[in-house]
Amino acid sequence: MSTSERRLRSSAWFGMADRDGFIHRSWMKNQGLPHHVFDGRPAIGICNSWSELTPCNAHFRRLAEAVKRGVWEGGGFPLEFPTISLGETLMRPTTMLFRNLMSMDVEECIRANPIDGVVLLAGCDKTTPAQIMGAASVDLPTIMVSGGPMLNGKFQGRDIGSGTDVWRFSEEVRGGKMSLATFLEAESCMSRSNGHCMTMGTASTMASMVESLGLTLPTGAAIPAADSRRYVLAHMAGRRIVEMVHEDLRLSRVLTRPAFENAIRVNAAIGGSTNFVVHLLAIAGRVGVPLGLDDFDRLGHDMPLLVNLMPSGEFLMEDFYYAGGIPVVVKALGDLIHRDTPTANGRTIGANVADAVCYNDEVIRPLDRPLKERSGIAVLRGNLCPNGAIIKPSAATPALMRHRGPAVVFETSEEMRERIDDPTLEVSENSVLVLKGTGPRGYPGMPELGNMPMPKRLIERGITDMVRISDARMSGTAYGTVVLHTAPESAVGGPLALVRTGDSVELDVERRRLHLHVSDTDLAARRAAWSPPAPTHERGYANLYVQHVLQADRGCDFDFLVGGSGAPVPRESH
Ligand code: FES
């Protein structure tokens, strides 16, 4: 139904000629708004995750101004509002602890206010899924404008990438191959413009997910934050959201099962972050689209890696944009993509990419010359992870994809940090590092500790990778033969809790197997002797989190947030 045939939602606030209408309009007029903006035009919420504590989103006030210009031009009425923001680099113990809190903030702020359509402004890792989760549970017309990646880092005559080169430099310092002074000099060279991490880390993965789901205008994922075209995109999104309100193009009409399948395939082709899994599962849960862990493997395991970006490749997001960005990838995937899924601009994804041209086939490889034949995310099963675990083969060492070795177990991340460089630690390149207590409930918040550091003495011998297993996540900018998201996690009594140093652990990615070579009898005896860790949080949000968070194979949403409640709020406040 178009808006000529139905009342706008905001008219229940602004369209009344009574006492309540007076209150709703009068206080708004203290901002200098003339009476005619309450004439029945769409009220567009601009949901802004700006914060100086989230440096990746620090330019969002300017971005919001560009959106507002577009909204006014399109005949709408922009209303910017803040939400909590989640800065990946500063927040402790981990931003993932607060993703669901942010989604609640976004959901309730949208629903409680006179808003007909929403523009979401997100950038840093968790801000993107949190906003989509919250908005999806309200289900108004919604479009996202991501903040865009930073320009390429430049250091000593070469490009360096957010995160990926931090991990590399840090290991080089620990191995004595880089001086501390050189390491510290790289700081200002890596992050030299506004924007989020410019590797294909989690932020770029999330922005690409948004574009492949159809929730932003074409090319929205890759335009650098410092490029004026990012502001043109924001302006055009402001214009477009007004049309989306008139068309009643709600999130649930875009977020269909085929759109999720497209996102999984695109994520494989771009070498996206493993964090994609928990976030996409959580978003699907909000809109009631059935999606399981095995869908990621089934749809993504035979996908070629086309995009040559760190950490799986060598280039960065700025290069990706100049090469053509996500539209080129979607076009290259041809029939592997559902081309008739609707997108925010009113056209199908197939129509949006029909004229896409690749300008650099080293950055975006053609289908017949991929960077790697197989990409995607492999879902492992076995007695160590009955509900699954994941690994990103494109970031792993091929020789370790089939490996059996003795476990070196750390009960906590603190123990791991304390002992990893201990010269007396019995560890070799054949060992399998096992870290417990880093899952959703155990930490709590499932931090990005899965790519635990290599033991210093192995680095000094030139060893750069070994098999590592945990119930944690991993930074999207990281790499290595790292098994993540083991479910159930150790803190709830998953089999990971029962592993002991010296146990033989077998990883076989080709066969999707993760097996602990301990007899069922011995495991039963260990289970009988196991007791859960003492609760660490007795009050506050962390306590709520621990009580209600779902396991990684279900996206780590809260059990009571799955699904949506729509937009209606029938009761008045006065
Ligand atoms: Fe914000 Fe990487 S730290 S995107």
Domain presence at residue 158: no
Q: Is the pLDDT of residue 560 over 80?
A: yes
Average the pLDDT over 337-346 and give the result.
98
Give CA separation, 61 vs 52, 66, 67, 217, 558, in Å.
11, 9, 10, 20, 30
In the numeric block, which tokens belong to residue 502? Answer: 């010296």
C-alpha 398 – ligand 1 centre gap (Å) = 28
Distance (angstroms) between ligand 1 centre and the Cα of 124 equals 5
Instruction: Give the domain extent around 512.
Output: 378-533
CA 387 to chain centre: 21
**How far apart (Å, rounded) are the C-alpha atoms in residues 398 and 236?**
44
Quote the tokens at residue 382. 């076995």
Mean pLDDT of the chain: 96
The DSSP code for 510 is T
Q: Are residues 382 and 338 in the same domain?
A: no
Residue 79 Ramachandran class (φ > 0 left, ψ -120 to 50 alpha, else beta): beta
Indicate whether 260 belongs to any domain.
yes
Task: Say whether both 402 and 441 belong to one domain.
Answer: yes
**pLDDT value at 261 more than 90:** yes
Whole-number pLDDT of residue 5: 59
**In the prediction, which pLDDT does 452 show?**
94
Query: Is 3 part of any domain?
Result: no
Task: Flag the least confident range among 304-308, 319-323, 477-481, 543-547.
Answer: 477-481
Residue with tokens 């577009």: 70
**Statement to judge: residues 204 and 332 lie in one domain:** yes
Tokens 């009409």 identify what position?
Answer: 253
Q: CA angle 432-392-510, nearest 5°?
A: 75
CA of 137 to the centre of ligand 1 (A): 25
Looking at residue 450, its pLDDT comes to 96
d(CA 12, CA 263) in angstroms, rounded, equals 36
**Which of the residue ranges 4-13, 113-122, 289-298, 498-507 would you say has the lowest mean pLDDT?**
4-13
The predicted-structure confidence for 425-436, as pLDDT tens digits, reads as follows 999 999 999 999
Integer Rg of the chain from CA:
24
Q: 339 CA to middle of ligand 1, Å?
A: 31
Most confident of 290-294, 375-379, 461-465: 290-294
Mean pLDDT, rounded, for 52-56:
98
Q: What is the CATH number of the domain that holds 407?
A: 3.50.30.80
Task: Tell whether 426 and 527 lie within a shared domain.
Answer: yes
| pLDDT score for 74 | 98
Which residue among 86, 92, 95, 125 has the greatest number of ligand 1 atoms within 8 angstroms of its CB, and so is best to mutate? 125
DSSP state of 481: S
Q: With a cut of 60, say whether residue 1 has pLDDT above it.
A: no
User: 294-307: string of b/e by CB count within 10 Å (b at 16+)?
Assistant: ebbbebbbebbbbb
Q: Which of 121, 59, 57, 120 is nearest to 91 (CA)?
A: 57
Does residue 224 sit in the same domain as residue 338? yes
Q: Looking at ligand 1, which residue's alpha carbon is closest to its atom 1?
A: 124
Last residue of a domain, one of 353, 387, 418: 353
Q: Are strands 389-391 and 402-410 parallel, antiparallel or unpaired?
A: unpaired
List Cα–Cα distances, 178 to 156, 183, 186, in angstroms. 13, 7, 11
Query: Same domain, yes or no, for 133 and 263?
Result: yes
DSSP for 65-120, written as a single string:
HHHHHHHHHHT-EEEEEE-----TTT-SS-THHHHHHHHHHHHHHHHHS--SEEEE
- 292 and 437 co-located in one domain: no
**Residue 256, pLDDT above cutoff 90:** yes
pLDDT value at residue 3? 56
Which residue, chain included where needed, has tokens 């029909």?
Answer: 354
- Coil, helix or strand at residue 299: helix
Residue 2 has what pLDDT? 53
| pLDDT tens, residue by residue, 59-87 | 999 999 999 999 999 999 999 999 999 99
Report the pLDDT value the prediction gives residue 478, as an integer from 0 to 100.
Answer: 84
Three-state secondary structure call for residue 482:
strand
Q: How confident is the model at residue 171 (pLDDT cuts 50, 70, 90)?
A: confident
CA 473 to chain centre: 11
294 alpha carbon, distance to own chain's centre: 19
> Ligand 1: residues within 6 Å at CB?
56, 88-89, 124-125, 162, 196-197, 201, 203
Residue 56: both structure tokens together? 């990746």
CA 96 – ligand 1 centroid, Å: 13
Alpha-carbon distance of 404 to 164, in angstroms, equals 27
User: Which residues does 113 contact at the CB level (< 8 Å), separation at least 6?
Assistant: 45, 79, 81
How, if at all, do strands 389-391 and 77-82 pair? unpaired
In a 10 Å sphere around its CB, with 0-12 CB exposed, 13-18 middle and 19+ buried, how is residue 365 labelled? buried
Shared domain check, 387 and 348: no
> Is omega for the bond preceding 129 within 30 degrees of 0, making it cis?
no
- CB-facing half-sphere around the CA of 134: CA atoms within 13 A: 30
pLDDT at 506 over 80: yes
**Residue written as token pair 């002991």:** 500
In the structure encoding, which two tokens stand for residue 169, read together?
């430099």
> Does any domain span residue 181?
no
pLDDT for res 115:
98
User: Is 368 contained in some domain?
Assistant: no
Is residue 549 domain-resident?
A: no
Asked if residue 56 has pLDDT above 80, the reply is yes
Task: Tell how far the Cα of 327 is from the centroid of ligand 1, in angstroms.
Answer: 23
Mean pLDDT check: name the lowest of 69-78, 317-326, 392-401, 433-442: 392-401
For the CA of 162, the closest atom of ligand 1 is 2
Spatial CB neighbours of 299, under 8 Å, sequence gap ≥ 6: 261, 264, 265, 268, 376
- Whether 405 and 347 share a structural domain: no
201-225: pLDDT as tens digits: 999 999 999 999 999 999 999 999 9
Q: How many domains does the chain have?
A: 2
pLDDT at 4: 56
* Overall average pLDDT of the 432-452 stretch: 97
CA of 59 to the centre of ligand 1 (A): 14
Q: Residue 511 C-alpha to ligand 1 middle, in angstroms?
A: 34
Residue nearest to atom 2 of ligand 1 (CA): 197
Same domain membership, residue 242 and residue 331: yes
Q: Mean pLDDT across the stretch 268-281? A: 96
**């159809």: which residue's tokens?**
214
Residue 567 lies in a domain: no
Name which residue leads in pLDDT, 476 or 345.
345
H or E element in which residue 507 lies:
strand 504-508
Gap between the Cα atoms of 548 and 89, Å rounded: 26
Question: What are the residues facing 117 on neighbouring strands?
Answer: 44
What is the distance between the alpha carbons of residues 80 and 48, in angstroms, rounded to a whole number? 7
Share of the chain above pLDDT 90, in %: 92
Contact, 140 vs 251, CB < 8 A? Answer: yes
Query: Which of 166, 187, 196, 275 maximizes ligand 1 atoms within 8 Å of its Cβ, making it the mutation to test the pocket?
Result: 196
The answer on 237 and 323 residing in a single domain is yes
Question: At 389, phi and psi to the nearest 5?
Answer: -150, 165
Kindly list the distances between the CA atom of residue 539 and the CA atoms of 399, 491, 535, 545, 549, in Å, as whole numbers in the listed order: 46, 18, 10, 10, 15
Query: Does residue 395 register a pLDDT over 90?
Result: no
pLDDT for 6 equals 73
Please state the rounded mean pLDDT for residues 106-130.
Answer: 98
pTM attached to this predicted model: 0.97
Span of 360-369, 393-402, 492-501, 554-563 with lowest mean pLDDT: 393-402
DSSP 3-state of 555: coil
User: H-type helices in 121-216, by residue range?
Assistant: 127-138, 164-174, 180-190, 202-213
Span 392-401, mean pLDDT?
92
CA distance 280 to 277: 5
**Segment 374-388, tens digit of pLDDT:** 888 999 999 999 999
Q: Do the domain assignments include residue 546? A: no
Residue 102, domain CATH: 3.40.50.2300
The tokens describing 536, both together, are: 């660490």
121 shares a domain with 33 = yes
Ligand 1 pocket check: which of 51, 54, 56 to mutate, most ligand atoms within 8 Å of Cβ? 56
